[in-house]
Amino acid sequence: MLDIQQYIRNGRVEREKIAMDIQKRVLTGADIRFLMKNKDIQAAFFGQAYEKKVPKEQWDAAYLELLTYAVVAEGFNEDYLLYLDEVAEFVSKKKESSKIIKRVIIGSIIIIIAVIAGVLVVLTNRG
């Protein structure tokens, strides 16, 4: 179970820590919903909704970074936290996909080099 007290220090909700943990995927969607039910967390909310949402096509690591810092000035509320979670999840999956693609490309290059080296060894030993 999530320890909410790690996000409250000296009676102050550490909004920045919550946002960073969402960004880093330390907090899951279920954790966020659990946090949002806490009266101390709710008391720290300001703003009704996050108004600066952008289309999904613009979601990348740089946008996620900017969005994480928005917790200080632009809003800390349920809408912001759920939006941050959605963007963070999307960006982390996008990163994972690109890592897999890079591994496949690197693996293919290694196989091609090994085949070429094998063909060269066979051709040199024939002569």
The tens digit of pLDDT for each residue in 40-87 reads: 999 999 888 898 899 999 999 999 999 998 887 778 999 999 999 999
Residue 101 has pLDDT above 90, yes or no: no
Query: Residue 95 has what pLDDT?
Result: 67
Q: How confident is the model at residue 120 (pLDDT cuts 50, 70, 90)?
A: confident
- Count of alpha carbons within 13 angstroms of residue 120, beta-carbon side: 6
Segment among 45-54, 93-102, 118-127 with least mean pLDDT: 93-102
Instruction: Give whichever of 21-30, 87-96, 107-116 has the largest mean pLDDT.
Output: 21-30
Measured at the CA of 105, the angle between CA 104 and CA 107, to 5 degrees, comes to 65
Sorted by where each begins, the domain ranges of the chain are: 4-94
pTM for the predicted model, two decimal places: 0.69
Counting Cβ atoms within 10 Å, is residue 58 exposed (0-12), middle (13-18) or buried (19+)? exposed
Q: How confident is the model at residue 91 (pLDDT cuts 50, 70, 90)?
A: very high
Query: Residue 98 has what pLDDT?
Result: 66
Q: How confident is the model at residue 1 (pLDDT cuts 50, 70, 90)?
A: confident
Handedness of CA 63, 69, 75, 81 (dihedral sign): positive
Query: Residue 65 has what pLDDT?
Result: 92
